[in-house]
Structure 1
Amino acid sequence: MAGVARFVASSLAPAAQRFAPQAAAGILRQVLEIAIDGYQRFPGAEKLAEQKLAKADGDVAVAIEAVIDQHIRLAGVQGFVTSVGGLVTLPVSLPANLTGLAVVQARMVAAIAHLRGYDLGDPRVRTAVITCLLGEDGVTDRLKKASLPTSPLAIATAPVFDPELDRLVAGEVVGELIARVSGKRMALTVTRRVPLLGGAVGAGVDGWSTYRIGEYADKSLVRRIPRPIEQ
């Protein structure tokens, strides 16, 4: 995970620190491609999903629960590491944390989508995966404000891929991730004199947000194609 974060952190950092979601959208797409397809020894979403399904003896619901649990732990670990040191290290750790959350949460959602029968090679599905990173509250709020035209499920099953919608979603997600990391800065302010406590706060925030996104993806990406029953 650390290697994946370093892979893009230098590119994402300037945009993240300027709080310019549109400028960072292209970099976020690269991060999510790594999460879905894998990178070197970092297994992609499909491979991970199949591993969990095999361990669950073909039970999709159990496999999805295992995927979510694993990524909650991953999010907690990377959240702890990038938050230790409190505000002293925040200017450096913010882009790494932003990257780590994107990779962890995108792979989790993509694995859920695969287990539900969606083709991760389909650009519509990849846009839907990105949309799920907004979480249920984020999607609902944007639907009400009309800054997002439709739901992840509708995006995944749309007749054609919409590149403009893909760019719109990417910008919204980068903004949301930056907002989450910035919100964590407020919590770290309280614990700046107790660095390890700051790390615990970071781990808790990232783990909780990952849990919420996993539950939302599980609810939103309903089964599209029945998986074959293994004999």
Structure 2
Amino acid sequence: MGITSSVGKSVGKMVVPQVGRLAPGVTSRAVLEALARAIDGVGPLPPAARAAERQLAEQGGNVDRAIHEVIENNVRLAGAQGFATNIGGLLTMAVTLPANITGLAIIQSRMIAGIAHLRGYDLDDPKVRTAVLATLLGSDVVDELVKRRKIPGAPLALAAAPVHDPTLGVLLATEVAQVMLAKVAGKRLATAAGRRIPVVGGLVGASADGYTTWRAGRYADKEFRPRARR
């Protein structure tokens, strides 16, 4: 996984402009829409807070165990959608790439928002939603953006900011779109040899998407420190 991930990231950085032309709908607006749907619910997926509360009830009110289950459930969802959108080979890339990115954005946003809710954060607060977007980027990207002073701090700091900066959400959504393009495109090109056997490509997609979702969950678990739950 480590080798594949490293190669994928390197290749992804080189092909983002080309993939961007294949997936012109993957923009900051699309990411913000995915975030809203993840929190409010979409299709068979209930709202993030409701799903998290269900896990909390199943775990007898134990928040830490509920968060563990939220992460595990969404890792499985990411793996399933990764498999579905990665079978068929590179010829279907233009069709399935936007779906893969949108699916990952929704699933990971839903998971992160659920964790934030369980830790006592109000998902209707735009500052918290901005913090969810930042968490999607992962610690390495967030640290770099903070270092370059493009954002004022890590997700916890964004959630606790005294005022909401609407331009920050657009900036982070743009970064999320680029990062996800790089990850998904890099993963696909790095495993192109396996695409000659479609099922192998699907298994690679499932494991990669599941792993990145697990990492996002761990980062969210670390960043959203407990608040008094309402």
Q: Aligned partners of 1:152 and 1:163: how far apart in 2?
A: 15
Q: 2:105 aligns with which of 102, 110, 117?
A: 102
Cα RMSD over matched residues?
Answer: 2.0
Q: Which runs of 4+ in 1 moved over 4 A?
A: 19-23
CA, structure 1 residues 214+23, in 2 after alignment: closer, same or farther (shift >3 Å)?
A: closer
After superposition, the Cα gap between the structure-2 partners of 1:113 and 1:93, relative to the gap in structure 1 and judged at 3 Å, is same
Aligned to 1:176: 179
- 2:21 paired residue number: 18
Identity percentage over the alignment?
50
1:46-57 equivalences under 5 Å are 46-57=49-60
The structure-2 alpha-carbon separation of the partners of 1:197 and 1:40, relative to structure 1 and needing over 3 Å to count, comes to closer
CA separation in 2, counterparts of 1:143 and 1:56? 36
1:220 is matched by which residue type in structure 2?
E
Q: Does 1:158 align with 2:161?
A: yes
Letter in 1 for 2:217: G
TM-score for both structures, normalised by structure 1: 0.87
TM-score under structure 2 length normalisation: 0.87
Structure ranking higher on relative contact order (CA contacts 8 Å, 6+ apart):
2
Between the aligned partners of 1:138 and 1:119, the Cα distance in structure 2 is 25
Aligned length: 213
In structure 2, the partner of 1:189 is 192
Q: Which whole-Å deviations, capped at 9, do the CAs of 1:63-86 have from their partners, x for residues lacking one?
A: 000000000000000001100012
Q: Secondary structure at the match of 2:196?
A: coil
- Residues 1:123 and 2:94 aligned together: no
- C-alpha contact 1:16 1:24 (8 A) present in aligned 2: no
Q: Structure 1: give runs of 5+ residues left out of the alignment.
A: 1-14
Which residue of 2 is the match for residue 224 of structure 1?
A: 227
CA contact under 8 A between 1:28 and 1:170: conserved in structure 2?
Answer: yes
Match of 1:142 in 2: 145
State how far apart, in whole Å, the 2-side matches of 1:141 and 1:21 are: 26
* Residue of structure 2 in register with 1:44 after alignment: 47
Whether the aligned pair in 2 keeps the contact of 1:16 and 1:95 (CA below 8 Å) is: no
Residues 33-112 of structure 1: matches in 2 within 5 Å?
Answer: 33-112=36-115
